[in-house]
Protein backbone atom coordinates (compact mmCIF):
# COMPACT_ATOMS: atom_id res chain seq x y z
CA UNK A 1 0.00 0.00 0.00
CA UNK A 2 1.42 3.38 -0.99
CA UNK A 3 1.42 6.26 1.46
CA UNK A 4 0.99 9.97 0.83
CA UNK A 5 2.87 12.15 3.31
CA UNK A 6 0.69 14.73 5.11
CA UNK A 7 2.67 16.17 8.02
CA UNK A 8 5.56 15.74 10.42
CA UNK A 9 4.91 15.79 14.17
CA UNK A 10 6.96 15.09 17.29
CA UNK A 11 7.44 11.40 17.98
CA UNK A 12 5.32 11.61 21.14
CA UNK A 13 2.41 12.95 19.04
CA UNK A 14 2.52 10.09 16.53
CA UNK A 15 -0.93 8.78 17.43
CA UNK A 16 -2.66 12.14 17.41
CA UNK A 17 -4.49 11.65 14.13
CA UNK A 18 -5.36 7.97 14.13
CA UNK A 19 -9.05 8.88 14.12
CA UNK A 20 -8.47 10.82 10.90
CA UNK A 21 -7.38 7.63 9.18
CA UNK A 22 -3.72 8.62 9.15
CA UNK A 23 -0.88 6.14 9.52
CA UNK A 24 2.11 7.15 11.58
CA UNK A 25 5.71 6.16 10.95
CA UNK A 26 7.75 7.01 14.02
CA UNK A 27 11.39 7.72 14.54
CA UNK A 28 12.96 8.53 17.87
CA UNK A 29 12.29 12.28 17.68
CA UNK A 30 9.78 12.86 14.86
CA UNK A 31 6.94 10.98 13.22
CA UNK A 32 5.51 11.15 9.70
CA UNK A 33 1.73 11.12 9.27
CA UNK A 34 0.49 9.72 5.97
CA UNK A 35 -2.64 8.51 4.22
CA UNK A 36 -3.13 5.39 2.17
CA UNK A 37 -2.84 6.38 -1.46
CA UNK A 38 -3.39 4.64 -4.78
CA UNK A 39 -0.63 5.97 -7.02
CA UNK A 40 -2.76 5.30 -10.07
CA UNK A 41 -5.35 7.69 -8.71
CA UNK A 42 -5.59 11.06 -10.41
CA UNK A 43 -5.21 14.11 -8.23
CA UNK A 44 -6.98 17.38 -8.78
CA UNK A 45 -8.26 20.39 -6.96
CA UNK A 46 -10.33 18.26 -4.57
CA UNK A 47 -7.28 16.21 -3.52
CA UNK A 48 -5.21 19.34 -3.03
CA UNK A 49 -7.81 20.89 -0.77
CA UNK A 50 -8.28 17.59 1.03
CA UNK A 51 -4.55 17.61 1.80
CA UNK A 52 -4.93 21.08 3.28
CA UNK A 53 -7.94 19.99 5.35
CA UNK A 54 -6.00 17.04 6.80
CA UNK A 55 -2.93 19.15 7.57
CA UNK A 56 -5.12 21.75 9.27
CA UNK A 57 -6.84 19.09 11.37
CA UNK A 58 -3.46 17.86 12.61
CA UNK A 59 -2.26 21.43 13.13
CA UNK A 60 -5.27 22.20 15.31
CA UNK A 61 -4.24 19.39 17.65
CA UNK A 62 -0.45 19.45 17.89
CA UNK A 63 2.52 21.38 16.48
CA UNK A 64 3.29 20.08 13.01
CA UNK A 65 5.22 20.73 9.83
CA UNK A 66 2.99 20.50 6.75
CA UNK A 67 4.19 18.32 3.90
CA UNK A 68 4.28 19.65 0.38
CA UNK A 69 1.52 17.91 -1.56
CA UNK A 70 2.55 15.06 -3.79
CA UNK A 71 5.17 12.90 -2.05
CA UNK A 72 4.11 9.26 -2.13
CA UNK A 73 6.05 6.31 -0.75
CA UNK A 74 5.82 2.69 -1.77
CA UNK A 75 5.30 1.50 1.80
CA UNK A 76 5.99 2.26 5.46
CA UNK A 77 9.59 1.14 5.23
CA UNK A 78 10.34 3.53 2.37
CA UNK A 79 8.88 6.39 4.36
CA UNK A 80 10.75 5.33 7.50
CA UNK A 81 14.07 5.39 5.64
CA UNK A 82 13.46 8.90 4.30
CA UNK A 83 12.32 10.16 7.71
CA UNK A 84 15.45 8.79 9.39
CA UNK A 85 17.65 10.87 7.07
CA UNK A 86 15.95 14.14 8.06
CA UNK A 87 14.78 13.43 11.59
CA UNK A 88 17.20 15.63 13.53
CA UNK A 89 16.55 18.62 11.29
CA UNK A 90 12.78 18.08 11.34
CA UNK A 91 12.69 17.83 15.13
CA UNK A 92 14.59 21.13 15.36
CA UNK A 93 12.15 22.75 12.93
CA UNK A 94 9.22 21.49 14.97
CA UNK A 95 10.56 23.19 18.07
CA UNK A 96 11.16 26.45 16.17
CA UNK A 97 8.01 26.56 14.00
CA UNK A 98 5.51 23.96 15.10
CA UNK A 99 3.57 26.12 17.55
CA UNK A 100 3.38 29.08 15.17
CA UNK A 101 0.79 29.80 12.48
CA UNK A 102 1.22 31.13 8.97
CA UNK A 103 -0.89 34.07 7.87
CA UNK A 104 -1.06 34.86 4.17
CA UNK A 105 -1.41 38.52 3.26
CA UNK A 106 -2.22 39.27 -0.35
CA UNK A 107 -2.46 42.69 -1.96
CA UNK A 108 -4.20 42.40 -5.33
CA UNK A 109 -4.29 45.26 -7.83
CA UNK A 110 -7.68 46.88 -8.12
CA UNK A 111 -6.99 47.76 -11.75
CA UNK A 112 -6.56 44.38 -13.42
CA UNK A 113 -6.41 45.50 -17.04
CA UNK A 114 -3.68 48.11 -16.80
CA UNK A 115 -0.96 45.99 -18.39
CA UNK A 116 -1.02 46.03 -22.20
CA UNK A 117 -1.03 42.59 -23.75
CA UNK A 118 1.83 42.89 -26.19
CA UNK A 119 1.70 39.38 -27.58
CA UNK A 120 -2.02 39.03 -28.25
CA UNK A 121 -2.65 41.57 -31.00
CA UNK A 122 0.04 41.72 -33.72
CA UNK A 123 1.74 45.10 -33.98
CA UNK A 124 1.38 47.08 -37.20
CA UNK A 125 5.13 47.51 -37.50
CA UNK A 126 8.39 46.67 -35.79
CA UNK A 127 8.50 50.14 -34.30
CA UNK A 128 4.97 49.79 -32.94
CA UNK A 129 5.92 46.43 -31.46
CA UNK A 130 8.96 47.86 -29.69
CA UNK A 131 7.05 50.89 -28.44
CA UNK A 132 4.35 48.67 -27.02
CA UNK A 133 6.98 46.50 -25.33
CA UNK A 134 8.60 49.60 -23.85
CA UNK A 135 5.24 50.82 -22.53
CA UNK A 136 4.59 47.45 -20.98
CA UNK A 137 8.02 47.39 -19.37
CA UNK A 138 7.46 50.87 -17.88
CA UNK A 139 4.11 49.83 -16.46
CA UNK A 140 5.68 46.71 -14.94
CA UNK A 141 8.58 48.67 -13.41
CA UNK A 142 6.12 51.20 -11.96
CA UNK A 143 4.10 48.39 -10.46
CA UNK A 144 7.22 46.80 -8.96
CA UNK A 145 8.20 50.10 -7.36
CA UNK A 146 4.70 50.52 -5.99
CA UNK A 147 4.71 46.93 -4.69
CA UNK A 148 8.02 47.56 -2.93
CA UNK A 149 6.49 50.61 -1.27
CA UNK A 150 3.53 48.52 -0.13
CA UNK A 151 5.90 45.93 1.33
CA UNK A 152 7.68 48.69 3.25
CA UNK A 153 4.34 49.85 4.66
CA UNK A 154 3.41 46.30 5.63
CA UNK A 155 6.75 45.63 7.33
CA UNK A 156 6.46 48.85 9.27
CA UNK A 157 2.84 48.25 10.28
CA UNK A 158 3.20 44.58 11.21
CA UNK A 159 6.49 45.01 13.11
CA UNK A 160 7.41 41.34 12.94
CA UNK A 161 10.87 39.86 13.28
CA UNK A 162 12.39 39.55 9.77
CA UNK A 163 12.98 35.82 10.23
CA UNK A 164 9.21 35.38 10.46
CA UNK A 165 8.33 37.15 7.21
CA UNK A 166 8.63 36.08 3.57
CA UNK A 167 7.34 38.09 0.67
CA UNK A 168 7.30 38.33 -3.11
CA UNK A 169 6.40 41.34 -5.18
CA UNK A 170 4.34 41.02 -8.36
CA UNK A 171 4.35 37.20 -8.35
CA UNK A 172 1.39 37.19 -10.75
CA UNK A 173 -0.19 39.89 -12.92
CA UNK A 174 -3.11 40.33 -10.53
CA UNK A 175 -1.02 40.43 -7.35
CA UNK A 176 1.18 43.24 -6.04
CA UNK A 177 2.41 41.55 -2.87
CA UNK A 178 2.21 38.01 -1.55
CA UNK A 179 3.42 37.88 2.02
CA UNK A 180 3.63 35.12 4.62
CA UNK A 181 4.05 35.93 8.29
CA UNK A 182 4.62 33.53 11.14
CA UNK A 183 2.83 34.36 14.38
CA UNK A 184 1.72 32.74 17.59
CA UNK A 185 -1.99 32.11 17.97
CA UNK A 186 -2.40 34.91 20.48
CA UNK A 187 -0.95 37.38 17.97
CA UNK A 188 -3.49 36.62 15.21
CA UNK A 189 -6.17 39.08 16.28
CA UNK A 190 -3.75 41.96 16.61
CA UNK A 191 -2.18 41.10 13.27
CA UNK A 192 -5.59 40.99 11.63
CA UNK A 193 -6.41 44.44 12.99
CA UNK A 194 -3.14 45.87 11.70
CA UNK A 195 -3.64 44.38 8.23
CA UNK A 196 -7.21 45.66 8.06
CA UNK A 197 -6.11 49.12 9.17
CA UNK A 198 -3.36 49.31 6.60
CA UNK A 199 -5.54 47.79 3.86
CA UNK A 200 -8.03 50.61 4.32
CA UNK A 201 -5.26 53.10 3.59
CA UNK A 202 -4.06 51.43 0.39
CA UNK A 203 -6.34 52.63 -2.36
CA UNK A 204 -4.83 50.85 -5.35
CA UNK A 205 -4.86 47.33 -3.93
CA UNK A 206 -7.32 45.06 -2.20
CA UNK A 207 -5.74 43.51 0.88
CA UNK A 208 -6.80 40.10 2.13
CA UNK A 209 -5.48 38.06 5.03
CA UNK A 210 -5.93 34.27 5.08
CA UNK A 211 -5.12 31.74 7.75
CA UNK A 212 -4.10 30.72 10.29
CA UNK A 213 -2.47 27.86 8.40
CA UNK A 214 0.24 25.39 9.29
CA UNK A 215 3.64 26.98 8.53
CA UNK A 216 3.96 25.87 4.88
CA UNK A 217 6.24 28.68 3.81
CA UNK A 218 8.64 28.42 6.71
CA UNK A 219 9.12 24.66 6.80
CA UNK A 220 12.44 24.12 5.06
CA UNK A 221 12.83 21.32 2.56
CA UNK A 222 16.02 19.36 1.99
CA UNK B 1 -13.48 44.09 -0.79
CA UNK B 2 -13.11 40.37 -0.12
CA UNK B 3 -15.81 39.59 -2.67
CA UNK B 4 -13.93 41.37 -5.41
CA UNK B 5 -10.75 39.38 -4.79
CA UNK B 6 -12.62 36.08 -4.46
CA UNK B 7 -13.93 36.65 -7.96
CA UNK B 8 -10.35 36.73 -9.16
CA UNK B 9 -9.44 33.44 -7.44
CA UNK B 10 -6.51 35.16 -5.75
CA UNK B 11 -7.06 33.53 -2.34
CA UNK B 12 -7.33 30.04 -3.86
CA UNK B 13 -4.16 30.48 -5.87
CA UNK B 14 -2.32 31.68 -2.77
CA UNK B 15 -3.32 28.50 -0.96
CA UNK B 16 -2.57 26.20 -3.90
CA UNK B 17 0.83 27.84 -4.28
CA UNK B 18 1.67 26.86 -0.72
CA UNK B 19 0.31 23.33 -1.04
CA UNK B 20 2.38 22.64 -4.16
CA UNK B 21 5.49 24.72 -3.71
CA UNK B 22 6.12 24.91 0.01
CA UNK B 23 6.15 22.62 3.01
CA UNK B 24 8.42 19.78 4.01
CA UNK B 25 9.67 17.44 1.30
CA UNK B 26 11.05 14.00 2.13
CA UNK B 27 11.45 13.13 -1.54
CA UNK B 28 8.83 10.53 -2.19
CA UNK B 29 9.37 7.65 -4.56
CA UNK B 30 6.37 8.61 -6.63
CA UNK B 31 5.50 12.09 -7.76
CA UNK B 32 1.78 12.57 -8.06
CA UNK B 33 0.38 14.57 -10.89
CA UNK B 34 -2.46 17.04 -10.54
CA UNK B 35 -5.01 17.20 -13.32
CA UNK B 36 -2.63 15.15 -15.43
CA UNK B 37 0.30 17.52 -15.02
CA UNK B 38 3.36 16.27 -13.18
CA UNK B 39 4.01 18.29 -10.02
CA UNK B 40 7.59 18.98 -11.06
CA UNK B 41 6.22 21.02 -13.93
CA UNK B 42 3.07 22.10 -12.16
CA UNK B 43 5.11 23.66 -9.36
CA UNK B 44 6.67 26.03 -11.85
CA UNK B 45 3.35 26.99 -13.33
CA UNK B 46 0.98 27.25 -10.42
CA UNK B 47 2.20 30.69 -9.49
CA UNK B 48 0.83 31.90 -12.79
CA UNK B 49 -2.62 30.42 -12.67
CA UNK B 50 -5.24 28.72 -10.56
CA UNK B 51 -6.00 25.04 -10.72
CA UNK B 52 -8.87 25.52 -13.13
CA UNK B 53 -6.61 27.40 -15.47
CA UNK B 54 -4.01 24.68 -15.23
CA UNK B 55 -6.65 22.12 -16.04
CA UNK B 56 -7.76 24.08 -19.10
CA UNK B 57 -4.23 24.57 -20.36
CA UNK B 58 -2.68 21.40 -18.96
CA UNK B 59 -1.53 20.18 -22.36
CA UNK B 60 0.54 23.33 -22.88
CA UNK B 61 2.45 23.20 -19.60
Contact of A94 with chain B, judged by CB distance below 8 Å, is answered with: no
3-class DSSP state for residue A218?
A: coil
Contact A219 B22 (CB under 8 A): yes
Residue A222 confidence (pLDDT) above 80: no
Contact B23 A66 (CB under 8 A): yes
CB pairs below 8 Å between A and B: how many?
147
Is this prediction's pTM over 0.90? no
CA distance A32 to A10: 9
Contact of A166 with chain B, judged by CB distance below 8 Å, is answered with: no
* pLDDT range class, residue B5, cuts 50, 70, 90: very low
Greater model confidence, B12 or A149: A149
Asked if residue A55 lies in contact with residue A20, where contact means CB atoms within 8 angstroms, the answer is no
* Model-level ipTM above the cut of 0.90: no
CA distance B56 to A4: 26
* pLDDT range class, residue B57, cuts 50, 70, 90: very low
Q: Return the CATH fold of A101-213.
A: Alpha-Beta Plaits (3.30.70)
A79 cis-preceded (ω within 30 degrees of 0) = no
CA distance A64 to A68: 13
* Tens-place pLDDT, residues A169-188: 999 888 999 999 999 999 99
Contact A51 B24 (CB under 8 A): no
Listed by start position, the domains of chain A span: 3-97, 101-213
Greater model confidence, A142 or A98: A142
What pLDDT, on a 0 to 100 scale, did the predictor assign at position A131? 87
What pLDDT, on a 0 to 100 scale, did the predictor assign at position B50? 47
Pick from B19, B30, B33: CB nearest A51: B19
Amino acid sequence: MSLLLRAIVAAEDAGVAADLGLFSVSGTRAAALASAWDTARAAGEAELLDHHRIVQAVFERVPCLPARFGSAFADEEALRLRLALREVDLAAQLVRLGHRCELAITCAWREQEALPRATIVPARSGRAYLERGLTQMRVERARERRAEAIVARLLSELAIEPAFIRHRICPRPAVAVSMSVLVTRDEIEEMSSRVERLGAQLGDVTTVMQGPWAPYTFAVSE
Amino acid sequence: MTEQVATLDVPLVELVDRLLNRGVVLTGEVTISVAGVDLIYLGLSVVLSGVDTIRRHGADI
